Structure 1
Amino acid sequence: MNAIIVDDERLARNELKRLLEDFPRINIVAEAANADEAIELIEEHQPDLLFLDIQMPGKNGFELLEVLEDRVPEVIFTTAYDEYALKAFEYNALDYLMKPIDSARLAEAILKVEEEFKKATQVQTNVANHNYLTENDQVFVKDGEKCWFVKLGTVRLFESMGNYVRLHFEDQKPMILKSLNSLEERLDPKNYFRANRKHIINLQWVEKIEPWFSGGLLVTLKNGEKTTQIEKIEISRRQAIKFKDLMSL
């Protein structure tokens, strides 16, 4: 697994590299002292994993992830501040390590990385076998005490909520314990499209498409049978190019 360390402190980068020597599966391909350096290196190396500091000169770690849009690798935050933990998991971080980094906690984080890549391998196998969930499949959804048996074609929107995904169908919005990335790999790409970092839309529910800022698009979804709420989802600039290709003759 190729990784990049992003931290403005050289000593902190060196210490993390030393600790990672005990984990030969993690291959450090580059290191960056700030977000701008990191963006170029991520574009060049396409790493599987980022060890990412939060407080840095210029863009902070969260702003870096916003710039990456849909190219975000798995992320382990490394920081001296505990007040960002909740926000970190809103960005689907695998873990949040406090400095100075404890070797046992690092081992736990690496285990999470390995488990995530095992899941990804299984997903790739499913994709190779075209084992997608289609709009005709029905899935069981449980949120608290409520349960639904939902036909996927009725789900117009999947919304990332940290480590959960909120399903939008009819007037219901239950959450399931699953990442949006893992869910995306199971959904049939002919019917479901990753609009941005936080949303997957059901193409059958698209009502209107408008140009949006910075080359993006704004999609309006049809209302569910029991709701009058209008849902507008932004398609990021990078994904807008794919969307136009997908929807064109």
Structure 2
Amino acid sequence: MIGRVSGEPVKVLVAEDEAPQRAALLSMLAEAWPDLADVTACEDGVAALQAVAERRPDVAFLDIRMPGVSGLDVARAVVASGGLVVFTTAYDQYAIGAFEAGAVDYLLKPVQPARLARAVERLRERLAQPSQDDLQSRVDELEARLRPRGDRLIRWISASAGDSVRMIGIDEVLFFQARDKYVQVVTVDGEAVIRTPLKELLAGLDPEVFWQVHRGVIVRVAAIERVYKDELGKWRLCLRGRGDELPVSAAFLHRFRGM
């Protein structure tokens, strides 16, 4: 663990997009961890990333599937700041093997008080005696196991370009950017628009090839040349051999460690 001083109150983040489930988890957590005083609750992944950047939680309970940004992306930010992660998931029992193999804790929905109590006990132990586990690689391993495969990955996009429909291979795409009610698809040869929301696109894109870097931007990693802070203090990225400059949210900067 890094960034936490012994004796300080434990800071906890709870991210769950379903209000009843979020309320139930917060209520059970209050019973299982009665001396916990610093809890931040978020209803989507974007808000959770902002909370991680601002609060640097010691522990995060994260729903895997949330609007805007997945729990796996939030987990990377939590781990990068030295925190621990517990995933909450509605995946069936067969898929739970992915979480167990990933060596991260999880709570199967609907969360049961006894199971939460065991998770809290383990968290207390780990907070008291921080380990040197490479949690970042364990999150990566979990994502690899849960990643869309085969025909679940997007291969082609049917997009509008003026008065025609253009078939775009996913290997041609440089970035996607939300534009009002549409999403702009930009390739080396031009651009087109689609109606599919970014959050639905993310579910079918290979996360090793495409990164979400802003609430409204998904970019091909190999196309990124550099990331910089402009004169207004805003983070932006440049694409190789192009004049495009795309916004980068501070909450997504953890993706660029070492770039």
Shorter-normalised TM range: 0.3 to 0.5
The TM-score with structure 1 as length reference comes to 0.47
Larger RCO (CA under 8 A, 6+ residues apart): 2
The TM-score with structure 2 as length reference comes to 0.45
